[in-house]
Amino acid sequence: MVPPTYLAFDPATRHVRLDPHQPAFFQNPCEAYAFMHGRSNVIFWEEFGFWCFGGFDDVNRLLRDRRFGRQNPAGIPDRRSTDQDRTHLSAFDGIEANSMLELEPPVHTRLRTLVNRAFVSRQVERLRPRVEALANELIDRFEPDQVDLLP
């Protein structure tokens, strides 16, 4: 597979240069992700200054390893650009500030214990008819002959 023209990949270092604001990437990110994933499950995205993991086993191990988390108690410098205007993301940032995805144990563990009750198999099975009806309703609204589905 040939890399998209807006992406540069060094196989020796697994470094990627890819501006996510490029219109070509924004219109079809799957092409770039497929290329990167086909080369390595681990890449260093230079524009953001961090490593990205794409293989199930790697991601599963990282998510279960308590040495990794969302917060930065060690004060490790963040090399990502902070000079970008984020005003257009203020509503999103406000919502995410209270997201369970942003929390660490023990707060995350306590809240997850409370929320898990809603996702036991009996509860999920009770939701099946409504979820199926909603999915069918949304599918019926698709434009004819045009749809992108992600696995």
- For residues 116 and 106, give the distance between their C-alpha atoms in angstroms, rounded to a whole number: 15
Q: What is the structure's pLDDT at 56?
A: 92
The overall pTM is greater than 0.75: no
Tokens at 54, concatenated: 């794409």
Domain stop point among 39, 69, 99: 69
Counted domains in the chain = 2
pLDDT (tens, 9 = 90+) of the chain, 151 residues, equals: 788 999 999 999 999 999 988 889 988 899 999 999 899 999 999 998 889 998 899 999 988 887 877 666 555 565 555 566 778 878 887 888 778 887 888 888 999 999 998 889 999 999 999 999 999 999 999 988 878 877 6
State the residue range of the domain holding 25: 1-69
Three-class SS of residue 108? helix
Phi first, then psi: give them for residue 10, nearest 5 degrees.
-105, 105
Please indicate, yes or no, if residue 78 is contained in any of the structural domains.
no
Q: Do 60 and 9 fall within a single domain?
A: yes
**42-45/50-53 β-pairing:** antiparallel
